[in-house]
A = this chain, B = another copy of it.
Amino acid sequence: MSGSSFGHLLRITTFGESHGAAVGVVIDGLPPGLEISEAEVQVQMDRRKPGQSDLTTPRKEADKVAFLSGVFEGRTTGTPMAMMLRNTNVRSVDYGDIVDKYRPGHADYTYEQKYGFRDWRGSGRASGRETSARVAAGAVARKWLARKGVDILAWVSAAAGIECRTFDADFIEKNPMRACDPAAAEKMAARITELKEIGDSAGGIIECRVTGLPPGLGSPVFDKLEADLGKAILSVGAVKGFEVGSGFAAAGMRGSEHNDEWDDQGWKSNHAGGVIGGISTGQPLVFRAAVKPTSSISLPQTTRNTKGDTVEIRTEGRHDPTICPRIVPVLEAMTALVLMDHWLLQRALRGEDPR
């Protein structure tokens, strides 16, 4: 129980470091009979992989997924589905400097405090590469949910201090920022390119919207839908905040403004963000996540080394000037896993499919 598993009934376990032999995931609890292919999963892997554009790290990693078990004649069997991605681009030479210096913003120091020593190759388990296993698992959950009419869409709503003001769903996958507003996307790209050139980095906000959910998913106390979802999202490295529906804006609202009323046309608003008392309302599920600027920057910083000396560090290498566009499919994947899990829980509770 070192926290590498997630989920109640649909439970994933990930393994692997960025510079070890492979990363992978085992999904336990998948219902039998879902048609799924490596090519379908690969579509999602390609959305997360490095080297997609000038706004992501130029590092090349094929992120080629292979099924190891749990699929027979193109369908899930109901037994554990294991997927693996071999690590192909392991240039440990890039990481020489971090063997004995703790990079600011990275987990180097905390890992060493936790474990007594650490695998210093490319962040080890704390690497963003671990999230590729989540995306693989999420691709399966997503397919399953799509069959039920559930659609999950995330995008970058702000980055490098620039906010989207319009929303064009079709544009999201067509721009390297995965922003929803063409004008803002252009400004973001320009600003991030500048930051990249000076060796700095940018953060941003991801928004996600799920449509087609039935009401009744989620548990009322600790496993509230928003609590499980919040944990899922906050477990992704670089995420510093999570809000659902009205979120932090709720703090300044009055009850008469915030409550979602209902009239003959249906719900009049969705401040709840699709979930009340931990249970889905049937309205769209809406949440946002705050993403910190990439910790790896090439500007000089002061830090400690393993001997306790204060030293200068420059984390050279092939880094993302912002992680925002690549984190979009990760958040979608985690969302899919949480929703499918609660869907299965509801089947157990009621003895029938919610849809």
Tell whether A105 is near chain B: CB-to-CB under 8 Å: yes
Chain B residues with CB below 8 A from A284, complex form: none
Chain B residues with CB below 8 A from A68, complex form: 15-16, 20-22, 24, 84
Tell whether A304 is near chain B: CB-to-CB under 8 Å: yes
Chain B residues with CB below 8 A from A228, complex form: 231
- Stretch among A114-122, A167-175, A179-187 lining the B interface: A114-122
- B352 close to A105 (CB less than 8 A): no
Q: How far is the CA of A296 from the CA of B259 in the complex (A)?
A: 9
Q: How far is the CA of A249 from the CA of B292 in the complex (A)?
A: 8
Q: Which residue of B lies closest to A201 (CB)?
A: B255
Contact of A310 among B3, B160, B263 (CB under 8 A): B263
Tell whether A155 is near chain B: CB-to-CB under 8 Å: no
Chain B residues with CB below 8 A from A227, complex form: 230-232, 234-235
Tell whether A89 is near chain B: CB-to-CB under 8 Å: no
- A11 close to B5 (CB less than 8 A): yes
- B31 close to A351 (CB less than 8 A): yes
* Most chain B beta-carbon contacts within 10 A, residue among A114, A158, A346: A114
Chain B residues with CB below 8 A from A348, complex form: 9, 29, 344-345, 347-348
In the assembled complex, how far is the CB of residue A8 from the closest CB belonging to chain B, in whole angstroms? 6
Chain B residues with CB below 8 A from A26, complex form: 4, 13, 15, 26
Q: Which of A175-214 contact B (CB under 8 A)?
A: 195, 200-205, 214
Q: Which residue of B lies closest to A294 (CB)?
A: B255
- A219 close to B302 (CB less than 8 A): no
Contact of A15 among B80, B110, B253, B279 (CB under 8 A): B80
Contact of A295 among B252, B259, B296 (CB under 8 A): B259
Interface size class of A (residues with CB under 8 A): 35 or more
Tell whether A328 is near chain B: CB-to-CB under 8 Å: no
Contact of A70 among B15, B255, B264 (CB under 8 A): B15
In the assembled complex, how far is the CB of residue A207 from the closest CB belonging to chain B, in whole angstroms? 11
Tell whether A332 is near chain B: CB-to-CB under 8 Å: no
- Stretch among A39-47, A55-63, A239-247 lining the B interface: A239-247
Tell whether A149 is near chain B: CB-to-CB under 8 Å: no
Tell whether A353 is near chain B: CB-to-CB under 8 Å: yes
Chain B residues with CB below 8 A from A30, complex form: 2
Q: How far is the CA of A30 from the CA of B349 in the complex (A)?
A: 7
Tell whether A50 is near chain B: CB-to-CB under 8 Å: no
- A293 close to B110 (CB less than 8 A): no
Q: How far is the CA of A279 from the CA of B204 in the complex (A)?
A: 22
Given the known interface contacts A77-B115, A107-B279, A261-B301, the answer about A8 and B13 at a Cβ–Cβ threshold of 8 Å is no
Tell whether A93 is near chain B: CB-to-CB under 8 Å: no
In the assembled complex, how far is the CB of residue A230 from the closest CB belonging to chain B, in whole angstroms? 4
Q: Which residue of B lies closest to A119 (CB)?
A: B72
> 1/0 per residue A22-37: CB within 8 Å of B?
1110101111110000
In the assembled complex, how far is the CB of residue A137 from the closest CB belonging to chain B, in whole angstroms? 12
> 1/0 per residue A93-124: CB within 8 Å of B?
00000000010111101110111111101001
Contact of A244 among B3, B110, B241 (CB under 8 A): B241
What 18 new A-B contacts, CB under 8 Å, besides A113-B215, A224-B235, A263-B302?
A2-B79, A2-B345, A3-B28, A15-B81, A24-B68, A32-B115, A77-B117, A102-B262, A110-B275, A113-B214, A160-B252, A223-B235, A226-B234, A240-B246, A241-B248, A256-B299, A258-B293, A351-B352
